[in-house]
Structure 1
């Protein structure tokens, strides 16, 4: 006999909230911040900015196209982190991207990260050695 588990309304609301945040994070990342419905900034570390223009273009493409979310790299299901690599002149460059959710002044974490009117995203791209 199969056991059926019923979620509480609170648990279902949290699942829905997380899914909404993940969708917004994906939209921000995939559009490279160009969709005005999900506002924020994209920043790169000094190590990334020092790479060649070709490497930076490959990084942008890899971040935008990232879809390898697993329990290990996305334990909360909100799509706020990715690990990837690109090559530049035959050399592998190991990188991370992460999205932080702030209030509209970029001062504190957002109290309502699912509310795009009250939340600003910061997508940071860094070499793994810079973490």
Structure 2
């Protein structure tokens, strides 16, 4: 797969997890989990709707991480890749059959 096509495929798969919660796991850090429900909802909505990717915040064009200001705090969300079946083989982020996506949403100060 060509590099640009590969990165676009990875970005689409990352966007799907981020915007729908499908095809992966989403974890909240202890700091985010401790926030009031309204703040957690606002954080999740900000992550789900994030579309302000630029070369400055998305160097590789894979939509795998960003920092977002939400109300009175900043959050970071990050998507990591793991082997889907614990095979020990390196996951291929462009192949959903081999890769389990895991997104963590955390307060910026927890990073």
Q: What TM-score comes out, normalization by structure 2 length?
A: 0.92
- State the match for 1:115 in structure 2: 95
> Secondary structure in 1 aligned to 2:78?
strand
Q: Which runs of 5+ in 1 are unaligned?
A: 1-11, 34-38
Runs of 4+ aligned structure 1 residues displaced above 2 Å come to: 105-111
User: Residue 53 and residue 108 in structure 1: after superposition, are their counterparts in 2 closer, same or farther (change >3 A)?
Assistant: farther
Q: Which of the pair has the greater relative contact order for Cα pairs under 8 Å at 6+ separation? A: 2
> Secondary structure in 2 aligned to 1:102?
strand
Q: Aligned partners of 1:51 and 1:108: how far apart in 2?
A: 36
Q: What TM-score comes out, normalization by structure 1 length?
A: 0.79
- State the match for 2:7 in structure 1: 18
> Secondary structure in 1 aligned to 2:57?
coil
Larger Rg: 1
> Secondary structure in 2 aligned to 1:70?
coil
Q: Which runs of 5+ in 2 are unaligned?
A: none
- Within a 5 Å distance, the mapping from 1:61-100 to structure 2 comes to 61-87=45-71, 92-100=72-80
2:31 and 2:106 in contact (8 A); partners too: yes
